[in-house]
Amino acid sequence: MIRGITPIDGAFELMGLHQAQVLMRFIFLETMAGKVIFALGFLLSLKAGMGQSNFRPMFIFLMMFFSLWLLVVVPRVRVVDPVSSMERSGYQVITTAQVLKKNGYGEVMVSPVPDIISRMIDSLVISMAAVLERGDGGRGYVASPFLFTKVSILTQRIVGRGITDPYLEERAVHFYQDHFWPAVKSLGSKADDLWPGHPDVVRAYSEEGRAQWLALRETLYQACDQDKVFSRMFARFYDGKSDLDAVVRSLLAHEAALNPQPYTSMAYASKPGSFVRRIDPINIALPEKIMTALAFMQGGSLFLLWSLLPVFLAVVFLSRQIAPLVLFLSILFSLKAWTLVWAICDKISTVWFGVHQAWGGAGLWEQPVLNMFIASAAGILPLAMTAVVIFLSGRIKVEGKI
């Protein structure tokens, strides 16, 4: 059974459905509250019918109450083997079942009709997200949401580890001394924020220097791929969105920042530090924290909304209007549609990376302004969309039309 996109939102929604089922049965079956709600609704509909000299309001109330009672309140089924779309694509770091178990939900019981409605919206949202990622071989946002976070975390891990092979470290230092700094000196005023793989620097190398750089770069690629986490997840989650040159650039910059003496030469650079791109932990960590929190935001919102379903039902019975359920379904769809906003952000990041790569610039994930923009948009736009839906639904309820 496919539940949501990530194990987080899938598990939290199931917990909300379970909570809604428990509360509905408790309120409407196991306590006097259900009888009181029925009696009040019946008396109010009878009073309205007598005022109109017909019994239509009473019959509408009875039909509404018992239909919803039999469809939503009474039945319940056990959820078996729930998995998210992300898990179906091969993700195994954390599963929906593990999240449920960790939160004390060994067995999840849900009401069939709300569960069907939830899965229908899931199918629609997943299909729309897949359309946005069409052409990626089915390995787009649906298969690996929050890709920005994965790329940042894995890249940071590789960069933070640095070059562990002493022989490779020695090769890199010799290359800096023998070829990189002479090339930087020859560029003169153009020498600003360069690294050994920059196109201008590569063109300034001698034939021997260019051959040595290609060999060194290939060895650095292999060093990155030897990271078990990186190599295992590269094909699954990166999908061409991470440039290995960007990882190598950050790796060399990190080495030079931690141990600048071997990588600088006073004969070639009056300000060696100006050629070292230092890793800014704020620019890396803050967007990651925002993106990581999004799945919990969506899952927590779905849990809260489903837990409030009994309240919406009680209002429906007492007001004898279907508007509260329309409001509930509108909010539910808007919460699940957050996925579409994130898929669009993911697609924008992919397009931007392609443009940036075509221009010969650094990799996308080293652009702190763009990272912060995408992370902020991914947090603000879904909340704004849900607020608009609630506002418009309120106008429908109060005025009868928009």
pLDDT score of 284:
53
Tell whether 191 and 106 lie within a shared domain.
Answer: no
pLDDT score of 71:
87
Residue 155 lies in a domain: yes
Tell whether 11 and 141 lie within a shared domain.
Answer: yes
DSSP 235: I
How many Å apart are CA 168 and CA 161, to the nearest integer? 14
pLDDT score of 277:
40
Q: How confident is the model at residue 200 (pLDDT cuts 50, 70, 90)?
A: confident
- Can you give the residue range of the structural domain that contains 161? 147-279
pLDDT score of 18:
94
- Global pTM reads 0.71
> What's the residue count for the chain?
402
Tell whether 287 and 141 lie within a shared domain.
Answer: yes
**pLDDT by residue (tens digit) across 296-343?**
999 999 999 999 999 999 888 888 788 888 899 999 999 999 999 988
**pLDDT by residue (tens digit) across 28-41?**
888 888 888 888 88
Displacement of CA 394 from its chain's centroid (Å): 29
**pLDDT by residue (tens digit) across 356-379?**
656 655 444 455 566 777 888 888
Tell whether 347 and 242 lie within a shared domain.
Answer: no
pLDDT score of 399:
45
Residue 1 lies in a domain: no
Helices (H), 3-31: 7-28
Tell whether 94 and 12 lie within a shared domain.
Answer: yes
How many Å apart are CA 367 and CA 357, to the nearest integer? 12
One-letter amino acid for residue 363 of the chain: G
The sign of the torsion formed by the CA atoms of 128, 132, 138, 144 equals negative
Task: Tell me what the pLDDT averaged over the chain comes to.
Answer: 78
Residue 201 lies in a domain: yes
Tell whether 236 and 329 lie within a shared domain.
Answer: no
Cα end-to-end span (Å), the chain: 38
Tell whether 133 and 12 lie within a shared domain.
Answer: yes
**Final residue in a domain of this structure, among 225, 251, 279:** 279
**pLDDT by residue (tens digit) across 150-189?**
666 666 667 777 788 888 888 888 888 888 888 888 877 5
3-state secondary structure of 78: strand
Q: How confident is the model at residue 351 (pLDDT cuts 50, 70, 90)?
A: confident
Q: Strand 77-78 to strand 109-110: parallel, antiparallel, or no bridges (unpaired)? A: antiparallel
Residue 391, H or E segment: helix 368-399
Say if residues 285 and 293 touch (Cβ distance below 8 Å).
Answer: no
Residue 124 lies in a domain: yes
**Final residue in a domain of this structure, among 279, 311, 330:** 279
Residue 2 lies in a domain: no
Residue 208 lies in a domain: yes
Residue 329 lies in a domain: yes
State both tokens at 258: 């931690």
Tell whether 139 and 157 lie within a shared domain.
Answer: no
Say if residues 160 and 303 touch (Cβ distance below 8 Å).
Answer: no
Which residues are within 8 A (CB) of 375 and not within 5 positions of it... i.e. 6 or more apart? 148, 286, 287, 290, 291
**pLDDT by residue (tens digit) across 99-151?**
998 888 888 999 999 999 999 999 899 888 888 766 544 456 777 787 666 66
Q: Which residue has the higher pLDDT, 239 or 131?
A: 131
394 pLDDT above the threshold of 60 = yes
Q: Which residue has the higher pLDDT, 266 or 246?
A: 246
Q: How confident is the model at residue 402 (pLDDT cuts 50, 70, 90)?
A: very low
283 pLDDT above the threshold of 60 = no
Helices (H), 53-104: 56-68, 85-88, 96-102
pLDDT score of 275:
37
249 pLDDT above the threshold of 60 = yes
Tell whether 104 and 165 lie within a shared domain.
Answer: no
What number is the average pLDDT over the span 195-213? 88
Total number of domains constituting the chain: 2
Say if residues 325 and 312 touch (Cβ distance below 8 Å).
Answer: yes
78 pairs with which residues across the strands? 109
Residue 292 lies in a domain: yes
Query: Per mean pLDDT, which of 102-106, 130-134, 191-195, 349-353 is the most reliable?
Result: 102-106
Tell whether 294 and 237 lie within a shared domain.
Answer: no
Which range is least confidently modeled, 87-101, 237-251, 299-313? 237-251
194 pLDDT above the threshold of 70 = yes
Tell whether 288 and 267 lie within a shared domain.
Answer: no
237 pLDDT above the threshold of 60 = no
Give CA torsion, residues 36, 41, 46, 51, to 10 deg. Answer: 130
How many Å apart are CA 246 and CA 224, to the nearest integer? 11
Tell whether 234 and 352 lie within a shared domain.
Answer: no
Q: Which residue has the higher pLDDT, 280 or 158?
A: 158
**Final residue in a domain of this structure, among 258, 279, 300:** 279
